[in-house]
Amino acid sequence: MFLPQEIIRRKRDGHALSADDIAAFIAGLTDGSVSEGQAAAFAMAVWFQGMDAGERVALLRAMTGSGTILDWAREGLGGPVLDKHSTGGVGDKVSLLLAPIIAACGGYVPMISGRGLGHTGGTLDKMEAIQGYDAQPDLHRLKTVVRRVGCAIVGATDEIAPADRRLYAIRDVTATVESIHLITASILSKKLAAGLNALVLDVKFGSGAFMEGREAATGLAEMLVRTAGDAGLPTRALLTDMGQVLGHSAGNTLELRECLSVLAGGAAETRLWRVTRALCVELLILSGLATDAVNAGKLVDQAIATGAAADRFARMVAVLGGPPDLIERPDRHLVSAPVVVPVFADRPGIVAGQDVRALGLAVVALGGGRTRPEDRVDPRVGLDQVAPIGAAAGPDQPLCFVHAADRAAADAVVCSVRNAYVIGETADAAADPVAGMIGGS
């Protein structure tokens, strides 16, 4: 007889749960026979007692199997099915570049993405800034787009890991979101359900990251890589620095414009390209599409230089209902904020640091993010031409430009944006934003 309270009691008291216990509990969570109170108690018990490796794999497999698992065997794909996940940051637009690059290199990328919550942005919100784009197609259409184009950046349907959706909503209101055991199952269940052959993870640390400390980020990366591997999904993780806004912009349309420029052959911000290229290289090696880092790097560079990545992105947008000339004519299809205001430092000097979380919260205050899942997002707003660490600041050198719905909204965040910068006489040399790798040889 299935008694959820007995499973909760055993975990509360520090005992390891069997795979059958976990499978029964997740099945009950999915069909509603486990109440919200019981799910909350389970999450809290895991928060305090943790899980061993066997429990984590059992939880991952149960959550993956709570819905549809994509099967690509009948699609006649000519290469491996691949994806990337980021733990989130401010200005993190890597997915918009990585998916078409990997597709141009012979991979197939069903990138099931999420929305922004808190101070970090969401890939799905960026794609929804494209007029007409169907960011949540059904699974049949998702498979068709991936087969025809090589990539699709979309949101999860109700069929993908439904147990995770219910458990996350409960964790969100019970202060258990931060459990790395539950984070691991949440992230990986959606990736295993996508039917992947290989996965790369971008685990961030720094003032704009979900986990600010490098040690905590390393622990999460190690757990993700080990658990994914135990579940049969080859995975590597890069530890990357979120001590600065990634790229020149933060805000949905602004970030989309930045990526379109890079795909069209424009210069990429150095840190953004370093992180994007490194993730692409590892994914190509892990999947067997490249033999080594040198070969993989050449493939990535060629995908941009030849326009092949831009072509994949343009075709993806068009097939999913967006404008076919988005890359050539972004101004025709992307809305702009009516008010743009420069932000200047209180004194001239050099940008010595950024409170990246504060900059992300400024974007949220402008309407470009959410404090609740049901909040609507204004895609137009955000920050652009963000001065990186080491840049000069002065009366003719703004720290950034605020894009707002009106002047009052812009004025309301100018002070907090200014205060998010540390201005000094000098700044430390910029460190490599790729700080380490977990799972590589």
Please state, in angstroms and rounded to a whole number, the distance separating the CA atoms of residues 282 and 274: 12
Instruction: Give tens-digit pLDDT for 81-124.
Output: 999 999 989 999 999 999 999 999 999 999 998 776 667 778 99
Q: Which of 30, 64, 66, 86 is catalytic?
A: 86
pLDDT value, residue 117: 65
Give the position of tokens 């001239």.
348
Q: Which of 56, 61, 190, 257 is catalytic?
A: 190
- Bridge pairing between strands 400-404 and 339-343: antiparallel
Our answer to whether residue 214 is catalytic in this structure is: no
Write down the pTM of the prediction. Answer: 0.94
φ/ψ region of 175 (left if φ > 0, alpha if ψ in -120 to 50, else beta) reads: left
Tally the C-alpha atoms within 13 A of residue 18's C-alpha that lie toward its C-beta.
4
Q: Which of 113, 123, 218, 240 is catalytic?
A: 123
Cα–Cα–Cα angle for 414, 417, 418, rounded to 5 degrees: 85
> Residue 288 has what DSSP assignment?
T
Our answer to whether residue 86 is catalytic in this structure is: yes
The one-letter amino acid at 170: I
With H, G, I as helix, E, B as strand and everything else as coil, classify residue 230. helix
Other CB atoms within 10 A of residue 48 CB: 11
Q: CB-based burial of residue 7 (10 Å sphere; 0-12 exposed, 13-18 middle, 19+ buried)?
A: buried
Among 305, 311, 238, CA closest to 276: 238
Q: Which of 11, 56, 84, 248 is catalytic?
A: 84
Give the position of tokens 């905590």.
216
> Residue 73 has what DSSP assignment?
G
Judge contact between 329 and 215, C-beta under 8 A.
Answer: no
pLDDT value, residue 441: 53
Among 108, 60, 66, 112, CA closest to 85: 112
pLDDT above 90 covers what percent of the chain? Answer: 84
3 state SS for 150-204: CEEEEECCCCCCHHHHHHHHHHHCCCCCCCHHHHHHHHHHHHHHCCCCEEEEEEE
With H, G, I as helix, E, B as strand and everything else as coil, classify residue 422. strand
Please state, in angstroms and rounded to a whole number, the distance separating the CA atoms of residues 9 and 15: 9
Tell me which residues of the chain have a pLDDT lower than 50. none
Our answer to whether residue 204 is catalytic in this structure is: no
Q: Which of 11, 61, 119, 171 is catalytic?
A: 171
pLDDT value, residue 165: 87
Our answer to whether residue 18 is catalytic in this structure is: no
The one-letter amino acid at 6: E
Judge contact between 245 and 359, C-beta under 8 A.
Answer: yes
Q: Which of 176, 186, 227, 276 is catalytic?
A: 186
Q: Which of 83, 92, 164, 378 is catalytic?
A: 83
pLDDT value, residue 171: 86
Q: At what angle do helices 308-319 and 252-263 cross, to 10 degrees?
A: 130
Our answer to whether residue 83 is catalytic in this structure is: yes
Can you list the domains of the chain with their CATH numbers? 4-50 (1.20.970.10), 73-330 (3.40.1030.10), 336-424 (3.90.1170.30)
> Residue 207 has what DSSP assignment?
T
Phi, psi of 355 (to 5 degrees): -90, 90
Among 40, 142, 171, CA closest to 83: 142
What is the distance between the terminal CA atoms of the chain, rounded to a whole angstrom? 46
Q: Which of 11, 143, 191, 312 is catalytic?
A: 191
Instruction: Give tens-digit pLDDT for 9-23.
Output: 999 999 999 999 999
Tokens at residue 393, please?
Answer: 């600041």
Please state, in angstroms and rounded to a whole number, the distance separating the CA atoms of residues 186 and 256: 27
Q: Which of 11, 56, 61, 85 is catalytic?
A: 85
Tokens at residue 160, please?
Answer: 């993908």
Among 223, 169, 158, CA closest to 193: 158
Our answer to whether residue 166 is catalytic in this structure is: no
pLDDT value, residue 280: 98
Q: CB-based burial of residue 396 (10 Å sphere; 0-12 exposed, 13-18 middle, 19+ buried)?
A: exposed
Our answer to whether residue 191 is catalytic in this structure is: yes
